Amino acid sequence: MMKPVKLPEKGRILIIRLGSVGDVVRTLPAVSALRACYPQATIDWVVQELSADVVRSMHKIDDVIVLPRKRWVRMIKKPAYYPRLFKEILGWIRSLRRRRYDTVLDFHGILKSGIIGVLSGAKRRVGFKRGYCKEFNFLFNRYHVDPGDPRLNRVYKNLKMVHTVGCESPLPREWLTPSEKDFKRIEVFWQEIQPVRSPVIAIQPSSSKNTDFKRWFPDRYAQLCDALVKTLGATIILTWGPGGRKAVEEIQGLMTQPSHIACPTSLMELSALFQKCDMYIGGDTGPMHLACFSGLPAVVIYGPTDARVNAPYPHSLHRIVRVDLPCSPCRDKTCTRLDCMKMITPEMVLKEVVSLWEEVQREKTVVPLPASGEARREVAVHS
């Protein structure tokens, strides 16, 4: 076990967690604990474009340094842009080094994040040990964190990182706090779908590109949505991200009951939408973690992915729907059988949703989140 490394009280710390959305969100509690431990330190965060607004919403970060990966990738494909690309990358590195960080905490654990850590010029670089990172990332760091369990919930794994720099705090409650502007934009949509009947249930059926193996089936989502309207009198809001519009339109087309399609233009607008809803249903995706960190009770459908490693935020109210199979969890993206998904029926999910909604009403465990992000009372429930 690595001995704790005490950081300077007024040191300059660089957080590296570039993406994805779910992983960025699950790093927030660890950074919150770090800020509580080092209130006078400068804490900056390097992140890619998609998740930048999530990090910006966290007021415990001094500066957000965006790595413009998408733009650079587009420029790489056009040789005419190479001189400009080289100049831009060099300028980005110089700007990073001018900040004179003394410590890097590499939560990402890949080749790219390791290189960024070295390029920052920081002498004290902390990352995960071999076996808990990828692409030889451990070679770029001087101090190596041993999470102790390959299947540790990602939230707790990240917390292990800050424990090694002297922050021995329990898991903090870190709720997302959309801006007033985000709420105003969602309010426009909210007025358009009036009248709204409770419970309002947000459903995100799609997942990121190349992760079809994590998606439950459109016809089953449609059956579930119809059952929710008939059983609970629910208002159904179908949400989607990049490339997901077709999926929600297919589900809506298969439904016999009314529903609404929403597409916030940013992650924090999506969080604002979630905070106006009563419940979330979806698979193991970034929006699921966003919903749980927005304080929304959730019923999560797990197929091949590990429900321990990728469990919802422990402070959130949630239930997990999955079936135990010898081949699950797995990472076989080419699997065509998908028994782990096929064995999950709309009736199974409906049962958990109804049970969770009854508990919420009975115990009054959920109260609206104020704009300040003050935590609500939560009870974690697993099936």
Mean pLDDT to the nearest integer, 355-376? 61
Q: Which of 258, 250, 34 is nearest to 162 (CA)?
A: 34
Q: What are the backbone dihedrals phi and psi of residue 85, each rounded to the nearest 5 degrees, phi first?
A: -65, -45
- 153 vs 282: CA distance, rounded Å: 19
**Per residue in 77-98, pLDDT tens?**
999 999 999 999 999 999 999 9
Torsion of CA 214, 219, 221, 226, to 10 degrees: 180
The fold adopted by the segment(s) 180-363 is Rossmann fold (3.40.50)
CA distances from 23 to 148, 156, 191, 284 (A): 19, 12, 32, 12
With 70 as the cut, is the pLDDT of residue 70 above it? Answer: yes
Mean pLDDT to the nearest integer, 258-268? 94
Mean pLDDT to the nearest integer, 162-175? 93
Domain spans in the chain, listed from the N-terminal domain onward: 12-163, 180-363
**Exposure b/e, 79-98, CB count within 10 A at least 16 = b:** eeeeeebeeeeeebeeebee
Contact by Cβ (8 Å): 126, 145: yes
- 113 vs 15: CA distance, rounded Å: 10
82-98 vs 69-76: helix axis angle to the nearest 10?
Answer: 150
Q: Note the helical H segments in the chain.
A: 21-25, 28-37, 52-56, 69-76, 82-98, 111-119, 154-163, 180-192, 218-232, 245-254, 267-274, 286-293, 339-342, 346-363
Q: Encode 48-75 in three state secondary structure.
A: EHHHHHHHHCCCCCCEEEEECHHHHHHH
**Per residue in 231-247, pLDDT tens?**
999 999 999 988 889 99
- 364 vs 366: CA distance, rounded Å: 6
Strands 200-204 and 235-239, sheet pairing: parallel
With 90 as the cut, is the pLDDT of residue 194 above it? Answer: yes
Confidence of residue 355 (pLDDT cuts 50, 70, 90): very high
Q: Which of 171, 224, 301 is nearest to 310 (CA)?
A: 301
346-363 vs 218-232: helix axis angle to the nearest 10?
Answer: 40
Q: What are the backbone dihedrals phi and psi of residue 183, each rounded to the nearest 5 degrees, phi first?
A: -65, -35
- 263 vs 163: CA distance, rounded Å: 38
Confidence of residue 364 (pLDDT cuts 50, 70, 90): low
Mean pLDDT to the nearest integer, 135-144? 97
**Per residue in 292-321, pLDDT tens?**
999 999 999 999 999 999 999 999 999 999
Strand order through the sheet with 279-283: 260-262, 235-239, 200-204, 279-283, 298-301, 318-321
Give the three-class secondary structure for 360.
helix
- 329 vs 339: CA distance, rounded Å: 12
With 60 as the cut, is the pLDDT of residue 366 above it? Answer: no
Give the amino acid at 321. Answer: V
Q: Which of 255, 231, 277, 246 is nearest to 369 (CA)?
A: 277
With 50 as the cut, is the pLDDT of residue 122 above it? Answer: yes
For 251, other C-beta atoms within 10 Å of its C-beta total 26
CATH of 12-163, one of 3.10.20.340, 1.10.1200.120, 1.10.3720.10, 3.40.50.2000: 3.40.50.2000
In this chain, the answer to whether the domains covering 12-163 and 180-363 adopt an identical fold is yes
Per-chain mean pLDDT for the chain: 92
